[in-house]
Amino acid sequence: MAEVEETLKRIQSQKGVQGIIVVNSEGIPIKTTLDNSSTVQYAGLIHQLVLKARSTIRDIDPQNDLLFLRVRSKKNEIMIAPDKDYFLIVIQNPSA
């Protein structure tokens, strides 16, 4: 658990990082550096997106799997690292 905390702290300290959210397999945020309403909003939307991205990859090739997702927009970049039981969302401002 301490290692997880250390990793999250390290990511949080990177220049430009606006927020970090850890979501469990049900889409429930279990850790966050953002306010509650933003967290819930991000978690819900990103959860759906990850499921869709994963099934897209598998539809194309059932032997393949999703490793990482980057959603770059005009204002920021959302990076999502899905795992078996959780996924990690990091929101950053790439120009910072």
Partner 1 sequence: MKVDVEGTLKRIESYKGVIGTIVVNAEGIPIRSTLDNSTTVQYAGLLRHLAAMARSSVRDIDPQNDLTVLRIHSKKYEIMVAPENNYLLIVIQNPCE
Note whether 90 and 17 are within 8 A (CB).
yes
Does 56 participate in binding partner 1 (rule CB under 8 A)?
A: yes
Task: List the one residue out of 78, 45, 44 whose CA is nearest residue 93.
Answer: 78
Does 52 participate in binding partner 1 (rule CB under 8 A)?
A: yes
Please select the residue that binds partner 1; options are 23, 69, 88, 89, rule is CB under 8 A: 69
- Residue 57, token pair as written in the block: 């990859």
Block residue for tokens 């920021």:
76
Does 45 participate in binding partner 1 (rule CB under 8 A)?
A: yes
Query: Which positions lie near partner 1, rule CB under 8 A?
Result: 41-42, 45-46, 48-49, 52-53, 56-57, 59-61, 63-76, 78
